[in-house]
Structure formats: C-alpha cells, structure tokens
Chains A and B, each alone.
Chain A
Amino acid sequence: MTTVATVEEGTASPYALSHLDALESEAVHIFREVAGEFEKPVILFSGGKDSILMLHLALKAFAPAAVPFSLLHVDTGHNFPEVLDYRDRTVARHGLRLHVASVQDYIDRGVLKERPDGTRNPLQTLPLTEKIQSEKFDAVFGGGRRDEEKARAKERVFSLRDEFSQWDPRRQRPELWNLYNGRHAPGEHVRVFPLSNWTELDVWQYIAREGIELPEIYYAHEREVFRRSNMWLTAGEWGGPKDGETVEKRLVRYRTVGDMSCTGAVDSDADTIEKVITEIAASRLTERGATRADDKLSEAAMEDRKREGYF
C-alpha cells in the first residue's frame, strides 16, 4: 500500500473490537442460534484447519458446558495419517461423539464407482447426504468461507437444503441483520457456515492468537511428492505416481487438507505459525487455486458440486 498519510488516524474508540474479536463474536452467535433452534445439529469435521477452528469456537461458545453437537467426518479413504490421528485425539480429549460416512464403504458395496482419475472428492456427496438423512441431522455446520471461491461468495450463513440436499442459489433467503431464518420442513436441513466472513489470513491469525494445535502437515516438512497438474501430490496407495511421474523429496507444507488424491502441497519453508502467516500475507495465489485440482475443472466446478449437496 502506498496511500499518502494525509488523513488523520480514525478516532480510536475504547469500544472498538479487533477484527478477530468481531469475527469470533459473530461465529459464536451463529453456533448459539443453532443450538437454540435446532434438534440435532452436527459439525462437519475433516481435521482440516477450518473444521478445527469451528470446533474451537463451538467449545468457547458453550463453555463451561459441553458442546451440544456431535461431529461428522466424511472419510474418502485417502486420508493423511497425521490428520486421522489428530481427529481421533481431538474427539477423545473433548469427549465428543464422532460419526463417520465412508466413501470406501460405498465403493466396496458397489454403490459408488472409483473415478478414472482416482479423485474421490466428488464421491463424498452421496455418503454425506445419506448420513444426514439416516441420522436426521437438521443443522450441518460447514467450514466453508465466502472468500474461498466465487460460488461460495453467494452462500448464506444459513443455507436451506431440500430432502435431496440440493442447493438452489436462485431461491436463497435474504439474510438481514443477524436474524437468521432456520425454518425447514421435515426431511430438509440447513447448512450453517459460521466462518462465512473469515478469510484464510483471519483463520491463521486467530489460530496463532488462540494457540490452536493443528495437524503437522500444515507446517513445512520433508515429504516424498510427485508433480501432477502443476501441484505436488503425496505418493500413496490411492493411485500415484503413474508412469512418467517421478517421486522426489521436497520441503513442502499443505495450505488445505482434503482428499490426498486432489490436494496439493506447496513449496514452503514455513515451519512455524508466524512464518505461515507471513507466507500467506505475501502469497499471490488463493488457497484453492494453489492446492485444489477439483476446482480447476471448470468455471462452475464448485457451484455444480454445491448444487448436488456438497459441503
């Protein structure tokens, strides 16, 4: 920024909240609204930083009582072992209940077919929606943020889904003030996004401020990777590397954590949270642009998946 300092400093009110405090308060308000208005909410928990942040905020919102929600992990079967380990330790530490919807089960039963490219992200939608139906979850917290992707920029905080979990962007309810409308018919549910207004940088700053532990793959480490679609992917049973792709050892970290087959690592020496924040503040790529193969498929890749009931 090169703005000339001709303007006087804004009158600093003693009542001004920092942006992190304002975002935290808003998210806590959303969690408490859902606890007050829904019968059976659940938090989507992948072990990624956004879901870890959601859980942290939920713990704060209801302390010193327990979080009145259970967790749901949609397991693609292509997990980073560090992340699964983190998930299980977290569940145990806070005495939470974990539901798992398994993509591998659906493939084993022949309900879902493995895609030729080995990517399992699009396969998550069916196990997710069937779990929501069978467990009768009426509110499902997702860690989606509006800054992630342009279809998400149009998403509401309370987003109604029909009995097929579909999202209709043209029939969204206007959201006024902080008066969220969670009315839904039996069989329908509401996806709730408490982190709607957070950016990637906010998430990292807040994680630093609160001292939240993350799976170690978010920090720079040596890893055996190979190049595909301009991303560094981890070699593994899921189907890489193929012929012509060579494995090499590099210093990398993950900016997002998802299915191993389509989540790329970035070259990085940021091995502390301070270095990660500096790296993100200077980055010229969005986190999805840098690390997600599935969003590069087309201009509307995310919108199409969301319409079908994806996160």
Chain B
Amino acid sequence: MSTITTEELAATTLLRFATAGSVDDGKSTLVGRLLHDSKSVLTDQLEAVERASASRGQDAPDLALLTDGLRAEREQGITIDVAYRYFATPRRRFILADTPGHVQYTRNMVTGASTAELTVILVDARNGVVEQTRRHAAIAALLRVPHVVLAVNKMDLVDYRESVFAGIAEEFTAYATELGVPEVTAIPISALVGDNVVEPSAHMDWYGGPTVLEHLETVPVSHDLAHCHARLPVQYVIRPQSAEHPDYRGYAGQIAAGTFRVGDSVTVLPSGRTTTVTGIDLLGKPVDIAWTPQSVTLLLADDIDISRGDLIVPSKDAPATSQDVEATVCHVADQPLTVGHRVLLKHGTRTVKAIVKDIPSRLTLDDLSLHPHPGTLGANDIGRVKIRTAEPLPADSYADSRRTGSFILIDPSDGTTLTAGMVGESFAAPEPVKDGTEDDGWDF
C-alpha cells in the first residue's frame, strides 16, 4: 500500500455511482470485494460480519451483512432499502448507492440512479442478458445516467471464454444504445475470485481493458459545461441588514447547471425581469466565474423582486415557462397516482400546486411495451403523465438538464413523496408510438 499524502487525499474528486443486478448475480459479492480489496472495510466491521455469519451457521463471512443495516434486513436476509457506502482510493472518493435487486427494485434503483454519474449493471455470464438486465438498462437510460458499466460476472463458471463475454457485451450494448445510453463499458469479471474487480485477471489475457475499479477511478465526472444552460434556483435571500453590510442583498443557491460569470445578463423566472450579475460570492470568497454544482450567492445590479423559488438564467438562454408539464414518471409511493389527483410539485426550489390531468400510458420495462390510459399508476410503475400547475414553471427537458428537468410530486395531505418526474421525452432515441389517434410525441 503506497503512502498517501494529505495533499493527495484532499485533491481527489468524488464519483457517485449505483449498482444494479438481479438476485444471485453476485452484486453483494462485487460490492463486498470492491470495499474489501480497496481496504475500505475495517477490522471491527469485518469481525462483526464474521460474528454474525457464524451465529447464523454460515462458514464464510457474508459480505451482504456489511450493507444490510436494518434488523428486518438481517432477519429476512434481504436488502430493503438503498444503502450508501463510502470508500476511497488514492485517486478518488466514491459514494456507492447499493440498490436491492428484488424488493421495490424500480423505486430504489430510480432513487440510486437519480444522483449517480455511473451505474454498474451486473449479469451472470451463464445467463446473459435477461429481462431484469433490460429493465436495469431502461432505468439507467430513463434517468440519463451518463456512464453505464456492464459487469459480466461469474466468468470463472464459463471457463473465461471470450466468446461468451463478447456475445453478451454486444447484445447489451446494442440494446442500451437503442435506448440512448451514451456510453457502455463492458468488463468480464469474477467477483468471487476477484478477476478484474480491483486486480487484473490472470485468466483472461484476451481482455485488454480496465478493471472495474480502474474504470471507476478514471471515468470523467463532469460534463462539458460549455454546452449546458446555466441555471440557479434561488434558495434563500441573504440580507444581513447589519452596520457592516447595510445594503448587501445576495441570492443564494446551488448552481444546477452550467456556469455564471460576473457581467452576465440574466433573467429571473417566472417574472421575466432582467438584470446583470455584479458579483459572485463563493462561500465568502469573491470569484468571477462559478459553475455547477457549486453553492454560491449572486449579487445583481438592480434591486428587483426575487425570492425563494425563482430561477436565475442567462437572458440569451432562458427556458420557456409553462403551466403544462409532460413528463415520464416513476411512481414511488404505495398509494396510487390517479387522474385528477391534486398534488404539490417541487421543481428546483419552487413548490407549486398541481393537478394530474392525464396518464396517457404506462410502460412495461421488460419489453418497453405501452399500456394506453391505465387510469392510475401504482408503486414502481413507470408512465407518462400530463400535469397542469397553478403557476408557470421554467422547466428544462430532462435530457438537457437532470437537475432542472426533474421534479417530485408530493401528497399535500400527508407529505408523502409520490412520484419522481422527468420532463420531456423518455429516451434519447425515441420509438414513435404506433397509435396515431393520441397527441403525438409519446415516445415509447
């Protein structure tokens, strides 16, 4: 183990990623091996797992116990909820959203993928691409996760044959590309033996690519910001009204997309008023330029009415505002979503009243088939919805901006988070719908 200096540790970047796999694909083993081989599992944690495994009569430590933190999970031997795991290498800090493979998997995978820059999808080399694999690919595509890794596991059980791996990689890549996944990296592994997880495999000379960990360490984490629309949802207005700062008035928020510069002409939505950026405070430090995901305070030339919930955008690149939102949603609550449902919609920092006007279709992830006019969406259903909001909303297409193209629906009576929404088309390469009687643009 090389010595890591304080400076090196502090200069690493952060990668958020998620894992998905069917039952018995070896996901827990892969996660356990990533943590274990990167020396992120500490002695007392491992001892606790060994104790617990032994008391259950298991011979080897069950690495799933590292992540199954709740009593009910350990008792039932299943993972109920997304677990977040943290590990680091000299190059990068990782936040892993470990999503369960069976119970409520759609909801949990959508949750994990919403903040992930990369998803690892596992398949069993003996089974190849199965129904669940296609679902996982569809969710990664819907959530626009920029990087997808296909980990073809259990290569040891197919004699490390290149042809098996190549066939699976080709089939998956073709399917994912059709859905609009921008990048697929296929890696042949054996999580159990350790091939190509952290250490390169000695059994697969034909493979010249990176191990899973090498790929995680080197994949680029930020997009090309030059092409992103700049967006700042205003969280809070900072007005000290103190002797030292009698006239300070700053608009605080986390830049959701793009970059802002001092001197930019900006428009405040939904009011449409325009002004100029005169200063940017980066947590106490004045800067000329700031970019996503920095938390900043913008100072503006004119004293115009701006409050929490407003969106500051470049005047030359403002989104249209509308009270009608069409979106793909994943329903995450047990109580169903129905046509006519009165809800709250939270977009950026703005929460508005809204009504579900129509549910034109429900989507089956296995084969991407459509069920027109289902009337309701139940837990873990994915579908298209039309929503009317009480106030105009400056929403981007989710394809352009994951932060300002997303929203959640909330039940106003009990506060339950009902639905995760993504504005605009579902997939990057939409299949036109055959039924010509409906509004066009339903793109499953």
Contacts and interface: CB of A to CB of B under 8 A. Distances in A.
A113 to B, nearest CB: 26
B: interface residue count bin: 35 or more
Given A35-B236, A184-B415, A185-B415, A25 B218 contact: no
B70 A25 contact: no
Most buried by A among B52, B114, B259: B114
A134 interface: no
Interface stretch (A1-9, A76-84, A232-240, A244-252): A1-9
B254 A178 contact: yes
A18 B84 contact: no
A2 B38 CA distance: 9
B153 interface: no
Interface in B1-20: 1-2, 4, 6, 9-14
Interface stretch (B25-33, B241-249, B435-443): B241-249
Interface stretch (B131-139, B156-164, B402-410): B402-410
A2 B198 CA distance: 9
B81 A15 contact: no
A300 interface: yes
Interface residues of A, number: 80
Most buried by B among A4, A66, A154, A286: A154
A63 interface: yes
Contacts of A170: 72, 80
Interface in A70-117: none
Most buried by A among B67, B90, B221, B295: B295
B95 A197 contact: yes
Contacts of B417: 173-176, 181
Interface stretch (B169-177, B207-215, B364-372): B207-215
B358 interface: no
A178 B231 CA distance: 14
A174 B115 contact: no
A21 interface: yes
A11 interface: yes
Interface in B356-410: 402-403, 406-408, 410
Most buried by A among B86, B88, B416: B86
A7 B254 contact: no
A297 interface: no
B415 A183 contact: yes
B253 A169 contact: no
B271 interface: no
Most buried by B among A147, A153, A278: A153
Nearest to B228: A15
Contacts of B245: 64-65
Interface string B79-114: 011111110111111010000000000011011001
B107 to A, nearest CB: 6
Contact of A147 (B12, B86, B293, B407): B86
Contacts of B349: 33, 36
B68 to A, nearest CB: 8
Given A19-B14, A25-B293, A277-B9, A177 B406 contact: yes
B200 interface: yes
Contacts of B74: 299-300
A212 interface: no
Contacts of A181: 346, 408, 410, 415, 417
Contacts of B347: 179
A61 interface: yes
B284 A60 contact: yes
Given A1-B1, A1-B2, A10-B217, A36 B236 contact: yes
A202 to B, nearest CB: 7
Contacts of A185: 414-415
Contacts of B346: 179, 181
A65 B283 contact: no
Interface string A158-188: 0010000000011011111111010111000
B295 A176 contact: no
B406 A285 contact: no
A176 B142 CA distance: 14
Contacts of A214: none
Nearest to B51: A299
B9 A201 contact: yes
Nearest to B248: A64
Interface stretch (B40-48, B260-268, B320-328, B425-433): B40-48
Contacts of B92: 19
Contacts of A2: 1, 199
B67 A150 contact: yes
B58 interface: no
Contact of B252 (A11, A61, A299): A61
Contacts of B167: none
Nearest to B70: A169
Contact of B13 (A18, A26, A281): A18
B337 interface: no
A229 interface: no
A153 B67 contact: yes
Nearest to A202: B93
Nearest to A173: B417
A66 B84 CA distance: 33
Given A33-B349, A277-B9, A303 B70 contact: yes
B54 interface: no
A144 B248 CA distance: 34
B48 to A, nearest CB: 7
A20 B8 CA distance: 12
B214 A22 contact: no
B85 A153 contact: yes
Interface in B144-203: 198-200
B10 A3 contact: no
A143 to B, nearest CB: 16
Nearest to B218: A10
5 contacts: A10-B91, A60-B284, A176-B420, A177-B420, A274-B6
Interface of B: 1-2, 4, 6, 9-14, 38-39, 42-45, 48, 52, 66-72, 74, 80-86, 88-93, 95, 107-108, 110-111, 114-115, 198-200, 210-211, 213-215, 217-222, 225, 235-236, 238-242, 244-245, 248, 252-254, 259, 281, 283-284, 291, 293-295, 308, 332, 344, 346-347, 349, 402-403, 406-408, 410, 412, 414-417, 420
- 3 closest Cβ contacts across the A-B interface? A183-B415, A150-B69, A289-B44
Interface of A: 1-4, 6-11, 13, 15-26, 28-29, 32-33, 35-36, 60-66, 146-147, 149-154, 160, 169-170, 172-179, 181, 183-185, 196-197, 199, 201-202, 205, 208-209, 274, 277-278, 281, 283-286, 289-290, 299-300, 303
Given A181-B417, A283-B42, A284-B44, 4 more contacts: A1-B2, A7-B218, A65-B248, A154-B70
